[in-house]
Structure formats: C-alpha cells, structure tokens
A = this chain, B = another copy of it.
Amino acid sequence: MTRVTADMAVSLDLVGAGRDQSREHPFGPRVGERLHQAWMFDHAEDHADELAAITQARAYVMGRHMFGPDRGDWDLSWTGWWGPEPPYHGPVFVLGREPREPVEMEGGTTFHFVTDGIDAAVEQARAAAGGGDVSIAGGVTTLNAALAADLVDELRLHVVPFTVGEGLRVFDGVPDLSLVPVSARATPDVTHLTWRRP
C-alpha cells in the first residue's frame, strides 16, 4: 500500500528556504547550508536511519524551485542540483508551468515534468511507485500544497536549532490540518519529528 511521505529540514521557526534563492545559494544566502550541513553531511552516521528514509520511496514529487534555480522558460541544460547520478534512483515528477521532455539520469533517476498541479503529480507518482512509497521531496511551497490538499500520510520535519526570521515556512497557508505524533528524537544537530495523518 503506497504511503505518501514528506521530509523537510527546517529552522526552529519552520523556515525551509530563505529568501533570495539562487544557483549560488539554493536556500538563500541567509540560510546557506545551515539546514543540512551538520546532520546530512558532517555527522551523517548519527542520522543514518532518518537519511535512509528520505530516499526509500519508489517515486518522488518535487517543485520546480527544488529542481533548479531557473525561472520562466526551462533552461534545458539544467538537469538538477545532484550531478549525473541523483540520489533518487527512480522517477521524479517535477512540477512546472511549461511542458518539458523527460530527462533520464544515471542510476535510474528520470525527471518527468508535470504541468497540471500537485494532485496530478502525486497521482502519477503513485502509479509509478508500484505499491512503494511516494515522497514529496520539496521544496516548501510544494510541501505546503501537498499538505493543504491532504495528500501527505507521513510528515517528517528535521528541526535544526536556529531561527531565520524570514523565508518560506512549512505550514504557511495550511490551516486546520490535524496530525498524530509518531516519533521524536533529539540529537545535538537536529530534532527529528514525525507525524501521521489521523
């Protein structure tokens, strides 16, 4: 039975991406690498289970800004932030306004481009997952759209202990959501929190 999961690293004030995102600063210059560096890279061994869970889905959905820094017409030379072999190893459905041909990467990742919104993207990912999980890979806007559409079965926030003060925040525009706490684990780098749909 397919579950729809979502992982997001956020600050204490729930910012998942700062302002002024760019190719040089994917999360904005104010946030920099602080949401990810310590737990995903410097001390990855202390977060092995949480990191493995992020890429255990069989299909993924992501927003255009998670895929790349370009705006407007697609920059066809851009094939994601992750180099020739992205960590997804499966189909990734990228939301956008303009159609684009699928992009096949090494290691089994194929980026498909979806122009008819979050519900359609999750539906296509479900079909592609073959009974495995679907993951909402980000960014914040896409996650909030999925939460508002009640598409997420399991939400995992990784709370890094600093405040930003401005930026894109998880749960913005998502009133009246109710979840059930599942787990919580504090580490020196990050607090891992999981909730499920009731």
| Interface residues in chain A, defined as those with a beta carbon under 8 Å from any beta carbon in chain B | 12-14, 159, 161-166, 169, 171-195
Residue in B closest to A183 when the chains form the complex, CB atoms: B186
Q: Which of A159, A181, A189 has the most CB of B within 10 A?
A: A181
**Is A176 within 8 A of B165, CB to CB?**
yes
Chain A contact surface mostly: loop
A-B contact pairs, 24 of them (CB 8 A): A12-B177, A12-B179, A13-B169, A13-B172, A13-B174, A159-B193, A161-B178, A161-B179, A162-B177, A163-B171, A163-B174, A163-B177, A165-B174, A165-B175, A165-B176, A181-B186, A181-B187, A181-B190, A184-B184, A184-B191, A184-B192, A184-B193, A186-B194, A191-B193
A37 → chain B closest CB, angstroms:
14
A140 to chain B, nearest CB (A): 13
- Please indicate the chain B residues that have their CB under 8 angstroms from the CB of A186 in the complex: 181-184, 193-194
Considering the chains assembled together, what is the distance between the CA atoms of A172 and B177 in angstroms? 21
Which residues of chain B come closer than 8 Å to A184, judged between CB atoms?
Answer: 184-186, 191-193
Residue numbers in B under 8 Å from A163 (CB-CB):
171, 174-177
Contact B191 A181 (CB under 8 A): yes
> Max chain B CB contacts within 10 Å: which of A163, A171, A174, A195?
A163
With A13-B174, A159-B193 known, 20 other A-B pairs at CB within 8 A are A12-B177, A13-B14, A13-B171, A14-B14, A159-B181, A161-B178, A161-B180, A161-B181, A161-B195, A163-B171, A163-B175, A165-B173, A165-B176, A181-B187, A181-B190, A181-B191, A184-B184, A184-B191, A184-B193, A186-B194
